[in-house]
Amino acid sequence: MYVLIAMALALLLLIFLLRLKVKLGRSMLISSIGLAVLLRVTPGEFWHAVVYEWHNKPLVQTTGYLFVTLTALVVLVNVLGAAMKKTGVSQRLAPALQGLFRSRRLALSVIPLMMGMLPTPGGIMLSAPMVRDLGDRIGVDRTRLAAINFFFRHQWESVWPLFPAVPLIQSMLGISAFVLISHNIAIMLSGMLGGVIFLLLIGMPPRDQENQSSGRFAGNLCNFLHAFWPIASVAALYAGVNLPPAAGVLLVIFIFLVLHKVPLNRWGTIFKSGAEPDFAFLVLGALFFKLNLEAGRAIPSVVQFLSEMNVPPYFLIFFLPLLVGFLTGLTMPTVAITFPFLIPFIGTGQEAKVELETLAFSGLVCGLLLTPVHLCLALSASYFEAPLVRIVLKLLGPVIFVAAAGVLVAVLL
């Protein structure tokens, strides 16, 4: 019971720091230090946990390896976004999509869906101006536009390898990328179906209010491919030849800069734009949180407590990530905090019940989509000048679809 109280206090500390507008990475790192104090983890015990995993776990599951690769991934994704912006590629994407997809609903959803494949911190603002301009031209309510932009941007979190949580879960469970994605894609597809029903089919004004976009198909297609190929290439390299996402992003950045004839003297500026120290603090804090749970022997203690309380396993697997996701508004820290508790239920390697991982991740997604702590939701409410509560209410229907997908996969597979 004490371990649960310690975890709750550490999470409350994280929320308190975020309320004080302390940066996400620093807040997570301080919270992980607070957890170590509460669990009475000494420096010696912490170091023993580091040495133990180095000798007894595969390299890809060690804290040092994950810190380097995940930090590189987050930073390099930001660099790629800066490169696309400085070359004007991202600015041409919205007009191209409007020209390619004549449907108003499809154009509104595809913009955040496409930009969401490039997960930069606070990246909701990449698509927000395009969605607002197009939505205003069509005559869509600002609250609905905010919900569309927010919801469809976050449909990739369960399957897209550029989100650090995906390779992190893969390494924690010791399963292949194909197995993980083939299960979690149910979350994405059900979410999109719920989004179409509740956000796109409802609340659209009559078509005569729309100003049709112009432009030649060939030119629009060219602009679309210029924006899409870097993102698709990274995913293809990861799924096809198992190239780590960070390495794939770095390779794509070099190719992108060469193809767009960016002068060498501008490369340094572009790379510096992604070198935000808080990214490293965020990854380090999430991993330290997980390591402190292991060093403090908290995982078996909590599992034993919950077992003695006869908490139904399926409820625990779904609700624990939902709760932590709602409290933190962060994907990767939620995975790092909750999945060590859930691994005894899910299993690892060939024994892993991946359908239970899907149930857990669906709970995480539900928590993230409904919490005001989520930075993207707060930014959306501010940018679209829409009440936060009304945005959340519009998201309830699609969230139910996400939860249903997790439950159905867990029960039927």
Q: What is the pLDDT of residues 298-352, one digit of tens each?
A: 767 766 776 677 778 899 999 989 988 887 777 888 888 889 889 989 999 889 9
What secondary structure letter does DSSP report for 41?
-
What's the rounded Cα separation, in Å, for the pair 230 and 84?
9
Please, is 317 exposed, middle or buried when counting C-beta atoms within 10 Å of its C-beta (0-12, 13-18, 19+)? buried
For the ranges 215-224, 309-318, 353-362, the maximum mean pLDDT occurs at 353-362
Using an 8 Å Cβ cutoff, are 97 and 110 in contact? yes
Of 84 and 342, the structure prediction assigns the larger pLDDT to: 342
Using an 8 Å Cβ cutoff, are 367 and 324 in contact? yes
What's the rounded Cα separation, in Å, for the pair 362 and 186?
9
Residue 208 has pLDDT above 60, yes or no: no
Residue 209 has pLDDT above 50, yes or no: no
Q: Read off the pLDDT band of 212 (50, 70, 90).
A: low
What's the rounded Cα separation, in Å, for the pair 393 and 190?
18
Question: How far is residue 298 from each of residues 2, 47, 211, 307, 312, measured CA to CA in Å?
Answer: 9, 16, 59, 14, 20
Q: What is the CA radius of gyration of the chain?
A: 21
What's the rounded Cα separation, in Å, for the pair 316 and 90?
41
Closest CA to 253 of 68, 77, 70: 77
**Residue 303: predicted pLDDT:** 62
Using an 8 Å Cβ cutoff, are 70 and 164 in contact? yes
Residue 292 has pLDDT above 90, yes or no: no
Residue 371 has pLDDT above 90, yes or no: no
Question: How far is residue 323 from each of residues 46, 197, 334, 363, measured CA to CA in Å?
Answer: 27, 26, 9, 8
Sort residue 58 into left (φ over 0), alpha (ψ -120 to 50) or beta. Answer: beta
**Residue 90: predicted pLDDT:** 72
Segment 228-262, tens digit of pLDDT? 788 778 777 876 777 777 888 899 999 999 998 89
Q: Read off the pLDDT band of 223 (50, 70, 90).
A: confident
Closest CA to 160 of 188, 196, 132: 188
Average pLDDT over residues 15-43: 86
What's the rounded Cα separation, in Å, for the pair 85 and 73?
18
Residue 58 has pLDDT above 90, yes or no: no
Phi, psi of 261 (to 5 degrees): 55, 40
Mean pLDDT of the chain: 84
Percent of the chain with pLDDT over 70: 93
What's the rounded Cα separation, in Å, for the pair 275 and 287?
20
What's the rounded Cα separation, in Å, for the pair 28 and 240?
34
| Token representation of residue 177 | 């990328």
Segment 372-404, tens digit of pLDDT? 767 788 778 878 888 888 899 999 999 999 999
Question: How far is residue 385 from each of residues 149, 374, 392, measured CA to CA in Å?
Answer: 13, 17, 14
Query: Which amino acid belongs to residue 218?
Result: A
| Token representation of residue 357 | 């991982």
Question: Looking up tokens 């930009």, which residue turns up?
Answer: 115
**Residue 121: predicted pLDDT:** 56
Segment 119-128, tens digit of pLDDT? 765 567 667 7
Average pLDDT over residues 156-178: 89
Percent of the chain with pLDDT over 90: 26
Query: Which amino acid belongs to residue 4?
Result: L
| Token representation of residue 170 | 């893969």
**Residue 210: predicted pLDDT:** 45
Closest CA to 69 of 284, 234, 239: 284
Task: Give the chain's largest Cα–Cα span.
Answer: 70
What's the rounded Cα separation, in Å, for the pair 315 and 160?
26
Specify the pTM.
0.72
Based on DSSP, count helices (H) and strands (E) in the chain, helices before strands.
Answer: 20, 0
Residue 360 has pLDDT above 70, yes or no: yes
Question: Cβ contacts of residue 3 below 8 Å, gap of 6+?
Answer: 39, 296, 298, 301, 302, 305
What secondary structure letter does DSSP report for 159?
T
